[in-house]
A and B are shown apart, each in its own frame.
Chain A
């Protein structure tokens, strides 16, 4: 069983496909869960502990927007744990109020420099692309065994 990081880290499709093949999907909800069971946090992940910015500083400098550092406090440990990664590029949900373009770039950069098996895809727009999407992910995950 390989720990596969999925990006967007909230992706249900990717997490499901990874777990179907018997691997462990590293998703942000598992990190949030760890915070929920920690007493003293009112509304994780919106509220941060003094330890969280320190974790974020490991990946992004102090002059980088705080949103990036906050996100990296959750995503950084996942990247360190990851043994493989599946990344979706150019998706609408990774931008705007639900995402952060700079964090996307930083995560992709860190995953690439980690030199782990990595596949970059785009969400399918039609049935043909969907078949290719599923087959490519299956091939990638089977190759990890």
Chain B
């Protein structure tokens, strides 16, 4: 069965979409590649794609993110070229998450360095009704 994946690079990454595409060409597997502004879309047989994904991730483990895609690249039902322009469905979520990727990359890098989990910060809770009553009595009595 065929499988399609997005490979998205974080803004902090030194790896360019063209570097990923070249790496896939070097691997010599039968995979279709589409370069985009945020990374690449790869399409091929499931086993080939899975093996390729591992190789790509190794290029920059904390800055490369991979996601499944339902439609193959260039599918006329999703491709902007066939639909008369505009963002394709699903782009907004990708855009939204891309903004958070540098933070997640730093978290993953800290994990890879073997850093300890940061301590939990206690959030301030709202005072209960009883406590609020006590506070009012203390203040105004």
Chain A residues near B (Cβ < 8 Å):
8, 10-13, 15-17, 19-20, 25, 27-33, 35-37, 42-44, 92-93, 98, 123-124, 126-136, 138-139
User: A132 and B110 in contact (CB under 8 A), knowing A12-B94, A15-B67?
Assistant: no
CB distance from B105 to the nearest CB of A (A): 8
How far, in angstroms, from A123 to B65 measured CA to CA in the complex? Answer: 16
Measured CB to CB, the nearest residue on chain A to B6 is A12
In the complex, per-residue mask of B48-78: 1 if CB is within 8 Å of any chain A CB, else 0: 0000000001000000011111111001010
Classify the secondary structure of B's interface with A: mixed
Instruction: Decide: B111 and A135 in contact? CB cutoff 8 A.
Output: yes
How far, in angstroms, from A43 to B70 measured CA to CA in the complex? Answer: 12
Measured CB to CB, the nearest residue on chain B to A11 is B97
Instruction: Decide: B103 and A126 in contact? CB cutoff 8 A.
Output: yes
Chain B residues near A (Cβ < 8 Å):
1, 3-4, 6, 8, 57, 65-72, 75, 77, 90, 92-94, 96-97, 100-101, 103-104, 106-108, 110-111, 115, 117-118, 120
User: A33 and B70 in contact (CB under 8 A), knowing A127-B106, A135-B111?
Assistant: yes
How far, in angstroms, from A13 to B6 measured CA to CA in the complex? Answer: 12
User: A134 and B104 in contact (CB under 8 A), knowing A11-B93, A12-B65?
Assistant: yes
